[in-house]
Structure 1
């Protein structure tokens, strides 16, 4: 089990927000993090994007149509929501709040726009950027996928430049040169000592 600051039910868990450019390996790092520490609450984002091969509804994302997504926005069900590469993404508010209230460290994997919204909504959240070892490495990852049209790849690269330029807005940066090491570094940031001690 994760060591959290426990009192008599007064533990306050840390909310960590992970962001980084497309192709940096967020899915691989999170899969390894799940293996290392299954007690962490991983928020499942809602998206209007179509599933990629191997993605499972309700596990990787909750896939919905645009109409359903808009209904959720109007009902105030999202902690944050944003548009990215022509698709909409949102973090359901209630499961995150329930996990934190129960004393579980929670992790959100969201885009830069959403991370900025969470910074406003939950100032205590720790923002972590997952960065590539080099720009060339990221380009190779994106062009090597072969699952998207070249125009889409070029648009993702342009967005990636903007995201990496926002590094100073984040509290920490984890470089994904090795998936296992990156996951371990992220885990240490999530459950390590707080600045405001016990």
Structure 2
């Protein structure tokens, strides 16, 4: 039995201590991200996942938006200092991928396939998960760490204005990535008996 994919899955971890010592070029990383998303499954092949890939000043601009927005929500200076330190750790990474869902496409499929209309939102989220996992694992395969954040919908309007994002794109997550400056800790797993059922 082949287990190469399992080994890659184990290699994909949430890495918070990221840097900019990345060997791949921005163009190579862009191609890697695009290919993973393009080849991910989606219901009816409706391809609802979109991505905005940020490097350099654009990457830093995103996390500045997050810090400025959170400052409005965390008025206590001591609490905000901790929040800002966390966001600055994401800013220290090499780049960020903004994962979006094209809501116009979801609505079109709801209208065109009324029998399944109630499912297309859920299915678009499953496509998101597939895309995010594929990109994350592929980055790990290339020695690049990442973590996935969810400051949406708090930052949606500011990000849309800053990067001219189409109004029908709905932000679903922010994945910062970069060189692994410190590994993830040990990972615990729940008991298989509590998680799986097998019938033969």
Query: What is the TM-score when the length of structure 2 is the normalising length?
Result: 0.28
**Larger Rg belongs to:** 2
Q: Which protein has the bigger helix share? A: 2
